[in-house]
Structure 1
Amino acid sequence: MKKPLLLLFCLLSCLSVFAQKNDIKDLWWKRNNLRVIQMNLPDYEAKTINADSIVEDLVRFSANTLLINAGGIMAFYPTKLNFHYQNPYVKGNVLGDVIRKCHEQNIKVIVRFDFSRVHESIFKAHPDWCYISPKGERIINTDMYVVSINAPYVQEKAYQIISEVMDNFPIDGIFLNMPGYQVNNPYEGKYHGIDQNEYDKKRFAEFSGGKQLPVEENKSDRLFQKYLEFKKHTVEDWSERLHKLVKSKNEQIAICTYSDKFVDIIRHESQSMTTLPYWPYSASDNVSNAVNSFPDHIISNASIQQISFQSRYNAVEPQEVQIRLYENIANGSGLDLSMMGDMRGYEDERNFEVFRKVYAFHKKHEPYFGRYKSVAKIAVIAPGAWPNGEPMQEYRGIQLMLREAHIPFDIIEDGQIHNLAEKVKGYKLLILPEITYLKPEAIEVLKQASREGTNLIATNRSLFDSPETLLDLFGAKIQKKDNDGAGNYLVPDNRAIFKSFAGQKMLFWKFNLGIYDFPGADEKLLPILAKGRPGPPEIIGGHDATGSYAMAIKNHEKSKAVILPINLGKIYYMHGYQEHKNILLDVIDHILPESKHTIQTNAPARVETILKEFTKNNVSNSEKQTSDGMILHLINLTGFSGNTYFEPLPLYALKFGIESSKKPRKVFSLSTGKAIKFAWKSGITNLEIAELAGFDGIVMEWN
C-alpha cells in the first residue's frame, strides 16, 4: 500500500505545482482590460466611506479595478506598527470590507502606498529618516515631512508596512505613489535641492569610492553624473527587493508605479496644464510612448481629474476627459481615472456621465481593445517619459504635424533605443526632435538602422554633443547651435521637394536657428536670409542671403538622413503656422512617399486617426499571435479651441482609404453596431462613415 499512496501523493503534489504555474501564467492584469477608478481618500473620508456604496458605484460605472489608499503617509486600516502613523478617522475594518465586497463583484483591488512622507510624530522620533536640503531645510506639507530614500524608513520600514497589508488583506495589486528621490515640494512649486541626509552621504560614498555627495544639479559635472547613476542604482535596488518580497508572497499581486523596472503595470498620467498651448493629445502621447518603449508591460494612463494641486476639488472639462479616455483605449491602455475621495457627495460631478459612457463602451466592446500591433512606418523619438521645457515643445510640435496630417507613427523613449534595436531598425523613418543626447549604444543602433534602410530626420540641437555622429550620419558640423532666428527668413528653394508653397517665396522665422556647415551633405536646402532693417515701412528690407542653410540631406547607400537645425517643432507648437508644418510634411513626402498611403482621408485635421491591427482580446484567444483585422479609431477633437474644450462638432461623409494587405470579411462601427459598406482593391480598403460624433472605432475583420 505504501507505493500506491506515495504515487498518489506525488501526483497530487505535481498537480498542485502545475496549478500554481497556471496561476502564474494567467496573471490577471495581462489581459490588458483594466477599467480603473482611483479613489484618493483625504484622511477624514475614512470616517464616512461605505463599502456597499463604493462597490455599487464601481459596478454602475463598469469599473473592474479599484485603486484605494492603504498606507505609507498614514494607515487606512488598524495598523500594529508603531512607525506607521494611524489615520485617526479610520473606523473598524473598512478597507477589509471594501476589498471583500469588491471581490464579490469580481472587482480587483490595488492598494496605494506613498512612502515619500511621514507624519510629524514620526519625524520627531526619527529626524534622521527625513530629507534635509543643502541649506539645512526640511520639505514640509502641514504636518508631513519628506523622507530620505536611503534612510531606514524607506529601506526597512516600508517593506514591513507592505507586508502587514499583504498578510492581512487579500489585495490584487500594489501602487506606489511618488517613488524615488525628492528635491521639490510639488504641492507648493518650490525646489529645495539634492538631499543631504547622512544616510545618503554614506551610501553615495560607498557607491562612488569615497566621493562626497554633490550639492548642485549640473549635468556637465562628472560628480553629478555619478550621482545620477547612484540614484538609478538605489531606486532599482529598492524596487527589486520589493518585487522579490511581493512575488514571494503571491505572484498574482501586481506591482504598479511610474517606472519600468521590476513592475507589472506602468502608470502614467494625463494632467491639466497650467501653461498654453494646451495639449489635447496627452493620453495618446503618454500611452504610445510607454507601449512602444516597454512592450512587455501593461500600461495604465490615469486621467487626473483635478485642475491642480491647489484646486483639487475642481475637475477638468468633461470633453477633455472624454478625449483622454478614448485616446487611452485607442493606443493600447485600459481606462484609468483618479479622483479625490469616493463618488458620493463629490464636489464636481460634471465628468460622471463621461466616465459611465466610456467605461460602459469599453466593457461592451472589450474584445476589440488591449491587443494591438502597430502599422506605423515612422517612429518619433521622445525626450524621456515626462518631457519638459524646450525639448518637450519641439517634440510635441513634430507630433502635432503628423497627427493633423493623419500619418501614423509610434513613439519610443530616447533611453530605450538601445534596448529595442530590432524594433527601431524596422521603421522606415525615425524622427529625432531635439534629442540632444543618446547613449553610445543607441547611436550605434541609429547607424545600423541607417545602413539597413531607415531614413532619419533630426531637428534643432539633436546630437549636438556628438559631433562625429552629426558628421557621419548627416554630413553636418556645428558653427553656432544657439542663434536667435527672430527676423530671419527661410527660402523654400527646391520646388521639387517643397511642393506646398505656391505663392510664397519666404518663410518667417523665430526661436532657434542653428548655423551649421554641411561638408558631408549631398544637398543643402532652405537658404537663410539675414535679418532685415527694423523700422517703418519706408525703410524695411535688406533680407540678403547669408550663405547658410537651414536644412541638409545626406544620401546613404540605402537611406537618406535629413537635418534641420532649427526649432521646427516648437514654432508650430507655439504658433501653428501651416508653412512650418509643410516643411516637415514635404520632406517626409520626399524621402518616404508611401507614408501618406497608410490612411487617406478627407477628415479634418482635428480628427485624430489611430490605426492598429488587433487580435481579439478573449480568454479563449489568449495564445493567438496573428491579427484578426484592423481597427481605425476616430477621436473628434473639433471641440478643442486651443484653450477651451467644447462639445465636438458632428462630422458627416468622412471618406477613408486604409492600406490593408488583406481584404476585410466585414466592416462595422463599434459606436452604432452597424455594417459599413466598403470596397477593397490593390491593398486599399475604401469606406465612408456617414456621421462621426465624439468617437468611433471602425472594425475591419479579416477572413
Structure 2
Amino acid sequence: MPDTAIDSARLLRSPNWYRGATRWTQLTLAEDDPVKFDVDEWIDVFRRTGSNAACLSAGGYVAYYPTKVPYHYRSKWLGDSDPFGALVDGARALDMHVMARVDPHAIHDDAATAHPEWVAVDAAGNPRRHWAYPDVWVTCAYGDYNTQYMPEIVREIVRDYDVDAVFANRWQGHGICYCESCAKKFRDASGYNLPQASDPADAGWRAWVAWRRERLTTMVVDWDRAVQAIRPNASFIPNMGGASLMEFDLATIEAHCPFLVVDHQGRHGLEPMWMAGRNAKRIRATFRDRPVVLITSVGPEEPVHRWKDSVTTGPEMTSWIADGAAHGMLPWFTKFNGVIPDPRWISPVADGFDLHAKIEAALTATEPACEIAILDATTTLRLHDWQKRDAAEADEKGFGHALIEAGLAFEFVSDHAMTAAMLDRFRVLILPNARCLSDAQCALISDWVKRGGSLVVAGESALATEEGVARDECGLADVLGTRLTAAPRGPVKNTYVELSGTHPLNAGYNGAQRIIGGLRLVSVAAEAGTETPFLTVPDFPDLPMEEVYPRLAATDPAAVTRETEAGGRTVHIPWNIGATFWEVLAQDHQRLIENAVRWALNGPSMVEVTGPGVLDIAVRTAPGACLVTLVNLTNPMMWKAPIRNIYPVGAHEVSIAVPDGITAASAQLPISGKQAKVELREGRAIVTVPGIEILEAVYLTWKEPG
C-alpha cells in the first residue's frame, strides 16, 4: 500500500488544517443536555470511532456557551456551565480539529418581539411560526438576521474558542419569504413581485432563483470574512445538500470554501445504497479536487416520519459510510442529543470509519479515473424548487442504477462547470434528460463529439434553452442525426417500443418483438447515415380490455444510432427511459441502457468485474497504479432501509486495463490485508477477489515501461 496516510496532528491549526480532518464526529446537543449529558463519555466516543475532527453545537437557535450577544438565546439549563467549551477542550486534547456548529433558522419570542424584521413571512402575509415547534419563529434567511446579526455570534465564537471553522446548518432558508424587506429588495433587483409558486415556466420564479443564489453566495463570503478577520486560518463552512452547489456562484465558493459538506444523512424510501457514492461524484463534477464530507445519521432518515433521536441498524450505517468512502467522501457521523440511551450505533460507526482508514492511503495517492460520465443537469434542476428536485432527477437516477447493475463505473460532469478539457477525460457522455441547455453548452458537447466522443442522449435533452424556453429543434441534432417532428407529450399509458433489425442495442431480448415504452415521448425522424434498432408502437387504449391492441404499425424511431466520422458513436432514445426504469425497474430498460452505453464505448471498459451479486464500483488511478473499490450492495433489503444483515458475496474477477509493455504487476486487497495473485493477459491485469462483505478494494501497481 502507498505510504501516503494523512498526518492529521501535523496539520493542527495550519492553513491546511481541513486536509487532516478525515473522520468526523458531530454532536448536536438538545437544550437540556447541559445537565444531562456526559462530556467524558463523548471524549471516549471520539477515541472509539477513531475520529480526528469534531463538529460541536455552539449557538444560533440555542447557545451552549455563556454568550454575551443580545437576544442570543441561552439554554435554560446552561447555568454557569460551558458544555461547548468543555467539548472543544476535550477534542483538542486528542489533537482533533474542531468546528463550531450554528443554526440560524429559528428564534424565540424575545428576539421576534424586539426584531420582527427577523421573522419570515408566508404568502398570506403572516409571520411564520415554526412548522414543527410553533412556540418559536422561522427566520428570514435573506435579510438582516443572517447578514448582520448572525455574524456577531460567529465572531464571538471564533474569538472566544479554539476552533478551526464555523459550520452552519439550515442557513439557506425555507422557501420564499414574503416580508417587506425581501419583497422590496427582490423587486428593486429584478422588477418582479415575489412569485406565489415554484414554476420553471414563470419568469418571476426564475428571477427569484437567481436572486436567492446571489443573496446566499454573498452571505457565504460575509460570514467567511467575519471568521477570518479573527482567525486567518479558519473558515465558514456552509452545510449543503447533494445538489446545492447549483445554488451558488462557483467562483465564490471555490475562493471561500476549502472543503464541502454534503448533508445526505442516509437512505429514505426506496433509495438504494449507492446514493451515498453518488454524492461524491456530483460534487466532483464541479470541484474535482476539493475534499468532500458525507454526513451519516445514526438514526433512520425519513423526511415525513422523523425519529431524529433514534438508532438504525448497524449494517445500514456501516454500508452508507463505506459506499461514500469508496467513492472518495470523508466520513462524518451525526448524533442528535448528547444523551446515549441506545449505544448500538457506536460500533457500526467505528467499523465504517475503520474501513475508510484502511483505504485512505490508496485514496489519497490516486484520483478518479473513468470513461463514462453522466451529465449533471444543473441548468435544468436549478429551475425546480428543492422540494420538487428529487422527482426531476429520476431520469439520471435510472441511468445510474442501470449502470451499477451492469457493473460499469461512472462519474458526473456538471453542465454549469463543463469545459472542453473536462469532457476530454471521458469516452462516453450520457444525457438522461438534460432538458435545458444553453447554446454554448450544446456547442461544447457537439464539438466534443466531433473530436471523437460518444454520446447517449435520452428524454427531452436539449429541447429548451437555459431559461426553459422551448426550442424548435434539439440543440444536439447536428451530431445525433435526428430531427424533431413533434413536441414532447405525456404522461402516456400503454406504450411500447418494437425491436427493429439486428443491432447490438437490441441484443439479449431472446425473441421478444417489443418491450415496454416510456411515459413521456418525443417524436423524431432519423436522418441519413443512422440506424433505428427500436421503433415506437403508436400508443393504444388500456381499457376496455377488448380494445387493448395496437392500431398502427411502428414507424417512428424509438432509438437512433450513428457512427461519427471522428470515430465516436451516438445513441438517441427520445423518451424518458431513465425515469421509467427508476419507477418501474423493468429489466428490459436496464438492458437497453447497458446495451446503449456499451455500444457507445466500442470496446471493454477500463475495469470489468465479473461475479455474483450487485457491486458499486469506483476507479481511481495514479502513475503506475490503479485502485478499484467494490461495495457489496447484494441484499434482500437493498431497496428499502434499513439493511438488517450483510450478505457476503463470493469470488469476483477484476480485469484492469494496463499500459502496453507491462510485464509484471502486484495487487493488494486493503480491507482483508492480503496480497492477490495477478495474471497479465492481452493488455489487462486479472485479479481474483476471494469475497466481499461490505467493502473490498484492489490496489494494483506496476512499473511504467521505460
> What secondary structure is seen at the aligned counterpart in 2 of 1:514?
strand
What residue is the counterpart of 1:19 in the other structure?
none
Say which of 71, 74, 82 aligns to 2:70. 82
Say which of 168, 183, 206 aligns to 1:225. 206
The answer to whether 1:29 aligns with 2:35 is: no
The answer to whether 1:195 aligns with 2:195 is: no
What residue is the counterpart of 2:308 in the other structure?
312
Say which of 501, 508, 515 aligns to 2:509. 501
Distance 1:448 1:251, change over 3 A: farther
What residue is the counterpart of 1:492 in the other structure?
499
Distance 1:104 1:570, change over 3 A: same
CA distance in 1, matches of 2:592, 2:36: 58
What residue is the counterpart of 1:472 in the other structure?
478
What residue is the counterpart of 1:431 in the other structure?
430
CA distance in 2, matches of 1:224, 1:533: 37
CA distance in 1, matches of 2:492, 2:540: 12
What residue is the counterpart of 1:243 in the other structure?
224
| Preserved CA contact (<8 Å) 1:529 1:544 | yes
CA drift at 1:81 = 0.8
Q: What is the identity, as a one-letter code, of the residue corresponding to 2:640?
A: N
| Preserved CA contact (<8 Å) 2:277 2:325 | no
Q: What is the identity, as a one-letter code, of the residue corresponding to 1:79?
A: T
What residue is the counterpart of 2:412 in the other structure?
411
> What secondary structure is seen at the aligned counterpart in 2 of 1:680?
strand
CA distance in 2, matches of 1:422, 1:563: 24
CA distance in 1, matches of 2:364, 2:77: 39
CA distance in 1, matches of 2:485, 2:49: 56
| Preserved CA contact (<8 Å) 2:271 2:640 | yes
Distance 1:34 1:144, change over 3 A: farther
CA drift at 1:519 = 4.6
Distance 1:372 1:254, change over 3 A: farther
What residue is the counterpart of 1:100 in the other structure?
89
What residue is the counterpart of 1:62 in the other structure?
50
Q: What is the identity, as a one-letter code, of the residue corresponding to 1:463?
A: A
Q: What is the identity, as a one-letter code, of the residue corresponding to 1:397?
A: G
What residue is the counterpart of 1:584 in the other structure?
593
What residue is the counterpart of 1:298 in the other structure?
291
CA distance in 1, matches of 2:392, 2:485: 19
Greater shift after overlay, 363-372 or 352-361?
363-372
Cα offsets for 1:55-100 (capped at 9, x unmatched): 1210111111111111111211100011211121224222122112
What residue is the counterpart of 1:454 in the other structure?
453
| Preserved CA contact (<8 Å) 2:45 2:346 | no
> What secondary structure is seen at the aligned counterpart in 2 of 1:123?
helix
| Preserved CA contact (<8 Å) 2:612 2:650 | no
Distance 1:93 1:675, change over 3 A: same
CA distance in 2, matches of 1:543, 1:684: 52
Distance 1:179 1:453, change over 3 A: farther
Cα offsets for 1:138-159 (capped at 9, x unmatched): 3322222111233222111111
What residue is the counterpart of 1:188 in the other structure?
none
| Preserved CA contact (<8 Å) 1:477 1:518 | no
Cα offsets for 1:92-113 (capped at 9, x unmatched): 2221221122111111111111
Q: What is the identity, as a one-letter code, of the residue corresponding to 1:128?
A: E
Say which of 629, 632, 638 aligns to 1:633. 629
CA drift at 1:444 = 2.6
CA distance in 2, matches of 1:663, 1:480: 56
Mapping for residues 595-674 of structure 1, pairs under 5 Å: 596-613=604-621, 627=623, 629-641=625-637, 642-644=639-641, 645-661=643-659, 665-674=665-674
> What secondary structure is seen at the aligned counterpart in 2 of 1:469?
coil
CA drift at 1:571 = 2.3
Cα offsets for 1:348-402 (capped at 9, x unmatched): x333221111213333553223453222111101234878344322111100111
CA distance in 2, matches of 1:627, 1:164: 47
What residue is the counterpart of 1:268 in the other structure?
262
Cα offsets for 1:318-370 (capped at 9, x unmatched): 2222221111211111111122123x5234x3332211112133335532234
Distance 1:400 1:549, change over 3 A: same
CA drift at 1:25 = 7.7
What residue is the counterpart of 1:15 in the other structure?
none
CA distance in 2, matches of 1:459, 1:198: 44
Give the structure, 1 or 2, with the largest relative contact order (CA under 8 Å, sep 6 or more): 2
| Preserved CA contact (<8 Å) 1:204 1:211 | yes
What residue is the counterpart of 2:3 in the other structure?
none
Cα offsets for 1:618-660 (capped at 9, x unmatched): xxxxxxxx54622221111112433352423222232221122
> What secondary structure is seen at the aligned counterpart in 1 of 2:656?
strand
> What secondary structure is seen at the aligned counterpart in 1 of 2:521?
coil
| Preserved CA contact (<8 Å) 1:270 1:301 | yes
The answer to whether 1:256 aligns with 2:237 is: yes
CA distance in 2, matches of 1:631, 1:555: 32
CA distance in 2, matches of 1:94, 1:511: 55
| Preserved CA contact (<8 Å) 2:631 2:696 | yes
> What secondary structure is seen at the aligned counterpart in 1 of 2:263?
strand
Q: What is the identity, as a one-letter code, of the residue corresponding to 1:162?
A: V
Distance 1:484 1:364, change over 3 A: closer
> What secondary structure is seen at the aligned counterpart in 1 of 2:499?
coil
Distance 1:494 1:24, change over 3 A: farther
> What secondary structure is seen at the aligned counterpart in 1 of 2:198?
coil
Greater shift after overlay, 171-180 or 528-537?
528-537
> What secondary structure is seen at the aligned counterpart in 1 of 2:347?
helix
CA drift at 1:280 = 1.6
What residue is the counterpart of 1:155 in the other structure?
147
CA distance in 1, matches of 2:287, 2:396: 19
> What secondary structure is seen at the aligned counterpart in 2 of 1:668?
strand
| Preserved CA contact (<8 Å) 1:396 1:569 | yes
- Say how many residue pairs are matched: 652
The answer to whether 1:345 aligns with 2:326 is: no
Distance 1:274 1:370, change over 3 A: same
Say which of 377, 386, 401 aligns to 2:371. 377
The answer to whether 1:549 aligns with 2:557 is: yes
Cα offsets for 1:645-684 (capped at 9, x unmatched): 2423222232221122256642121122111111123331
Q: What is the identity, as a one-letter code, of the residue corresponding to 1:372?
A: T
> What secondary structure is seen at the aligned counterpart in 1 of 2:107?
strand
The answer to whether 1:284 aligns with 2:277 is: yes
Say which of 168, 174, 194 aligns to 1:176. 168
| Preserved CA contact (<8 Å) 1:479 1:517 | no
CA distance in 1, matches of 2:369, 2:288: 15
> What secondary structure is seen at the aligned counterpart in 2 of 1:99?
helix
Distance 1:69 1:628, change over 3 A: farther
Distance 1:394 1:611, change over 3 A: same
What residue is the counterpart of 1:402 in the other structure?
403
Distance 1:471 1:233, change over 3 A: same
CA drift at 1:535 = 6.5
CA distance in 1, matches of 2:151, 2:317: 35
Distance 1:254 1:360, change over 3 A: farther
Greater shift after overlay, 548-557 or 443-452?
548-557
CA drift at 1:478 = 4.6
CA distance in 2, matches of 1:24, 1:671: 31
